[in-house]
Amino acid sequence: MNSASKNLQEKFKELSNITYTAVTDFSKCISCGTCVKYCPLKIRVFNSEGKAITIKTSKSCGGCSVCFKRCRQNAISLLPINRKSKI
């Protein structure tokens, strides 16, 4: 195996360990409920302040981006996380 393909393999391995989770900017969230309604995994809920958050369940957010695309306030970011991390 030459070094270029070895580097490529290592890059693929690194990327396969990365997933995404939806994070809310509370200063932008207007509590409209759109992300809560449309999240296919039903892991978007309102917190005690009425802001939408992603909860941790056995179904982890893989960053499908439905909430990200539907939020008209641009309040949601997809944060890259390492699958092996505990975030």
Enumerate binding residues for ligand SF4 (CB under 6 A).
22, 24, 29-35, 39, 41, 43-44, 52, 54, 61, 63-67, 71, 73, 75-76
**Which is closer to ligand SF4, CB of 11 or CB of 56?**
56
- Smallest separation, CB 5 to ligand SF4 (Å): 33
- Smallest separation, CB 86 to ligand SF4 (Å): 18
- Smallest separation, CB 81 to ligand SF4 (Å): 12
**Which is closer to ligand SF4, CB of 22 or CB of 81?**
22
Question: DSSP letters along 36-76, please?
Answer: HHH-TT--EEE-TTS-EEEPP-SS------HHHHH-TT--E
32 with 51: CB under 8 angstroms?
no
Q: Which region holds residue 42: left if phi is over 0, alpha if psi is between -120 and 50, else beta?
A: left
Three-class DSSP category at 85:
coil
- Smallest separation, CB 82 to ligand SF4 (Å): 17
